[in-house]
C-alpha cells in the first residue's frame, strides 16, 4: 500500500465514522426528546388526573351514602307495608264481624245510643234519622229517644224516621229535617271519621 492509498483510506474511514456519529447523535437526541415530551404529556395531565381522582373519591362516598340510605328506606317501607297489611286485616275482619253483631239483641240498644248521641250533638228541635233497610224495621221508640235528647239539650225534640234508606252495615245518619246539619253515626261513617285514631289503636294492640 502506498502512502497515498493509506491517506485515502484514512479519509474515507474518518468520513464513515463522522457520518455514523451524526446519525447516532441524532437518534440519541430523538430518544431524549421523545422521553421529555412523554414527561411533559404526563405533567400536562397531572391536574386533570388529580381532579378525576378527587371526583372519584367524592363519588365513592356519595355512592355509599346513597345506597345505604336507599337500603334503609327500603327496609323501613318493608316493615311499614307489613304493618299496613296487618292493620287492614283487622279492619276487614271488623267489617265482617259487624254483620254478625248487628244481629245480636244488644244492637238495638247500640243503635238507639248512636241516634241519641247524634241528636245531642246536633241539638236541634226537629230531627230525622236515616237507616238501612233492615234497621228501618227494628222496633225503635223514637219518642223515648227524643225525650232523652231533650233531657240533655234542654230543648224539646222531635225525631222522625226518614223514608230514605242508606246502604250501610248499621248505625244511623241523624240530621236536621231541613238536611242542613248532618251527623253520620253509621259504622262506616265512624270508621271513616275516626280512621286515624282507630288505626293507631289497632297498631298499639298489634305491635306493642
Please report, as residue ranges, which positions from 75 to 104 form the binding site for other proteins (by CB under 8 A).
75-76, 78-79, 82-83, 86, 89-91, 93-94, 97-98, 101
Coil, strand, or helix at residue 132? coil
DSSP 128: E
Q: How far is CA 150 from CA 1, 61, 158, in A?
A: 155, 71, 9
Query: Minimum distance from CB of 166 to other proteins (Å)?
Result: 17
Is 12 an interacting residue with respect to other proteins (CB under 8 A)? yes
Q: N- to C-terminal Cα distance for the chain?
A: 120
Under rule CB under 8 A, residue 29 binds other proteins: yes
Q: Quick one: 160 or 193, whose CB is closer to other proteins?
A: 193
User: Taking the complex as a whole, how short is the minimal distance between the CB of residue 127 and other proteins, in angstroms?
Assistant: 14
**Minimum distance between the CB of residue 28 and other proteins, rounded to whole angstroms?**
11
Among 60, 155, 160, 193, binds other proteins (CB under 8 A): 60
CA atoms within 13 A on the CB side of 56: 6
> Could you tell me the smallest distance in angstroms from the CB atom of residue 19 to other proteins?
3
Of 69-77, 130-138, 153-161, 175-183, the window that binds other proteins (rule: CB under 8 A) is 69-77
Characterize 150-176 residue by residue with b for buried, 16 or more Cβ atoms within 10 angstroms of its Cβ, and e for exposed: beebeeebebeebeeebebbbbbbbbb
Can residue 116 be called a binding residue for other proteins (CB under 8 A)?
yes
Contact between 44 and other proteins by CB under 8 A: the answer reads: yes
| Radius of gyration of the CA atoms of the chain, in A | 48
Stretch near other proteins under the rule CB under 8 A, chosen from 55-63, 124-132, 158-166, 172-180: 55-63
Q: Least Å distance between CB 133 and other proteins?
A: 20
Pair 21, 13: CB distance under 8 Å: no
Cell numbers describing residue 162 = 226518614
Amino acid at each position: 500500500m502506498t502512502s497515498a492509498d493509506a491517506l485515502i483510506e484514512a479519509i474515507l474511514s474518518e468520513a464513515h465514522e463522522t457520518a455514523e456519529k451524526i446519525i447516532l447523535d441524532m437518534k440519541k437526541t430523538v430518544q431524549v426528546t421523545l422521553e421529555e415530551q412523554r414527561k411533559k404529556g404526563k405533567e400536562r395531565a397531572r391536574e386533570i388526573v388529580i381532579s378525576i381522582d378527587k371526583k372519584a373519591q367524592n363519588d365513592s362516598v356519595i355512592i355509599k351514602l346513597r345506597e345505604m340510605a336507599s337500603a334503609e328506606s327500603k327496609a323501613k317501607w318493608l316493615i311499614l307495608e307489613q304493618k299496613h297489611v296487618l292493620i287492614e286485616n283487622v279492619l276487614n275482619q271488623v267489617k265482617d264481624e259487624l254483620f254478625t253483631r248487628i244481629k245480636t239483641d244488644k244492637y238495638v240498644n247500640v243503635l238507639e245510643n248512636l241516634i241519641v248521641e247524634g241528636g245531642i250533638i246536633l241539638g236541634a228541635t226537629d230531627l230525622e234519622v236515616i237507616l238501612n233497610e233492615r234497621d228501618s224495621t227494628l222496633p225503635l221508640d223514637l219518642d223515648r229517644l227524643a225525650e232523652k235528647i231533650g233531657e240533655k239539650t234542654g230543648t224539646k225534640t222531635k225525631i222522625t224516621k226518614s223514608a230514605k234508606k242508606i246502604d250501610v252495615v248499621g248505625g244511623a245518619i241523624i240530621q236536621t229535617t231541613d238536611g242542613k246539619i248532618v251527623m253520620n253515626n253509621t259504622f262506616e261513617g265512624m270508621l271513616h271519621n275516626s280512621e286515624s285514631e282507630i288505626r293507631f289503636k289497632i297498631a298499639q294492640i298489634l305491635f306493642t
